[in-house]
Copies of this chain bind each other. A is one copy, B any other.
């Protein structure tokens, strides 16, 4: 920590950002105060909610109010969601009445819903306003820190969205045209309770830079803008990557995650996988006699089962990612089965060829595998085709099964698929050996 601290003494925003991730929670406010005054606001506003909360809690009382009030309501709500109940009350009390009201409304939503992402400060107009009136009206609203004026939402008397209009269009429209004539009617809206991952897919599909959020009665509550979506996409990709690596997703960046938290997130899955993998010991126990008769069989166990795991990991990562991007849907499962089955056989034949060449070469060079090396080669080759085909098929189907069961398909992690395939891989291998080697080695 000392080295990082020495670096930030009297530094620029860029230098502070560079060491930010490595600072402990209680050092951040102190480091922030060392920043040049003219750079503080920009730096603060561009931090994630966690960092903003750490600064706010670390600052002396009188300075807190200034920094709390600089936050737009959606960001203020995110900050309050990062701290515990007592601190939440303390920080909320620093807001002015209007802002506190807005923030409390936002806090009613879960963080990962459309309502939790949105800003309540959007540009609005009435259907019977003229283009020049709208521009004039917006000029007044603009002082009020609107989230964006790129899109103006046209609301009826019940606050329902009846149309949308880009600022550019009003801007270049004749002054006397009415909003109802300029606007696009019935714009795409998202429900306030829609999951953030689906909100992101809406953005990607429609290509808009903001979308209105409505309640069950169609009343507009706020807007979600594309810059919030970039964060969502990054966050979801991080969660998926961590799940795919065989652990629970972390709630905070690496260095911000405590030691205890880290063990909790990792030990759970590791233990589950370990218990699952114990079946390999039972499976191999059933073939103890065969191993005792032909120890050479044991030598190829890691090679065989890892090939199944690797081909399964490839297949599951492909399908999980394609599902996240909406390229593959549940109903496509049969097309995938046919495709991956053929691919599995081809990949299996490729590995089997390499494996057989390896065994024959070592035999000629070192005589490693005894007089029945031909049977060993056949056993390994045939098993590889079976195990790789089976691994590819299981890896591609597991995400479908999980999604069907309502579980995030990203949980079909590389280690999970490998564990599933290991037991069946062993059974395939030893059963092939029993057939091929009957009457000779076994």
Interface residues of A (CB under 8 A from B): 17-18, 21-22, 45-46, 138-139, 142-143, 146, 148-150, 167-168, 171-172, 200, 203-207, 209, 226-227, 229-231, 233-234, 237-238, 240-242, 244-247, 250, 253-255, 259, 262-263, 266-267, 269-271, 273-275, 277-278, 280-281, 284-285, 288, 291-292, 295-296, 298-303, 305-307, 309-311, 313-314, 316-322, 325-329, 332, 335, 339, 342-343, 346-347, 350-351, 354-355, 358, 368, 388, 413-415, 418-419, 422, 426
- Tell me the complex Cα distance, A45–B51, Å: 38
Whether the pair A343, B262 counts as a contact (CB closer than 8 A) is: yes
Interface hub of A206, A275, A368, A414 (most chain B Cβ within 10 A): A414
Whether the pair A354, B271 counts as a contact (CB closer than 8 A) is: yes
Whether the pair A46, B206 counts as a contact (CB closer than 8 A) is: yes
Give the oligomeric copy count: 2
Further contacts, 5 of them, CB under 8 A, given A237-B240, A253-B322, A310-B418: A246-B317, A255-B332, A277-B306, A280-B306, A281-B300
Contacts of A351 in B (CB 8 A): 270-271, 274
Whether the pair A17, B414 counts as a contact (CB closer than 8 A) is: no
Contacts of A142 in B (CB 8 A): 168, 171-172
Q: Which residue of B lies closest to A235 (CB)?
A: B325
- Tell me the complex Cα distance, A18–B326, Å: 9
Contacts of A415 in B (CB 8 A): 306, 309-310, 313-314, 414
- Tell me the complex Cα distance, A230–B3, Å: 35
Contacts of A250 in B (CB 8 A): 318
A299 interface neighbour in B167, B229, B230, B281, Cβ under 8 Å? B281
Contacts of A426 in B (CB 8 A): 302
Contacts of A146 in B (CB 8 A): 168
Q: Which residue of B lies closest to A280 (CB)?
A: B302
- Tell me the complex Cα distance, A241–B241, Å: 7
Contacts of A306 in B (CB 8 A): 273, 277, 280, 415, 418-419, 422
Contacts of A319 in B (CB 8 A): 254
> From residue A147, how far is it (CB to closest CB) to chain B in Å?
11
Whether the pair A317, B247 counts as a contact (CB closer than 8 A) is: yes
Whether the pair A277, B254 counts as a contact (CB closer than 8 A) is: no
- Tell me the complex Cα distance, A298–B278, Å: 13
Interface hub of A138, A254, A303, A346 (most chain B Cβ within 10 A): A254
- Tell me the complex Cα distance, A285–B207, Å: 58
- Tell me the complex Cα distance, A300–B313, Å: 22
Contacts of A46 in B (CB 8 A): 205-207
Question: Known interface pairs A314-B266, A346-B263. Does A322 touch B254 (Cβ–Cβ under 8 Å)?
Answer: yes
Contacts of A274 in B (CB 8 A): 303, 307, 310, 351, 354-355
Contacts of A418 in B (CB 8 A): 306, 309-310, 414, 418
Question: Known interface pairs A273-B306, A309-B418, A347-B263. Does A241 touch B321 (Cβ–Cβ under 8 Å)?
Answer: yes
Whether the pair A368, B285 counts as a contact (CB closer than 8 A) is: yes
Whether the pair B303, A281 counts as a contact (CB closer than 8 A) is: yes
- Tell me the complex Cα distance, A269–B307, Å: 11
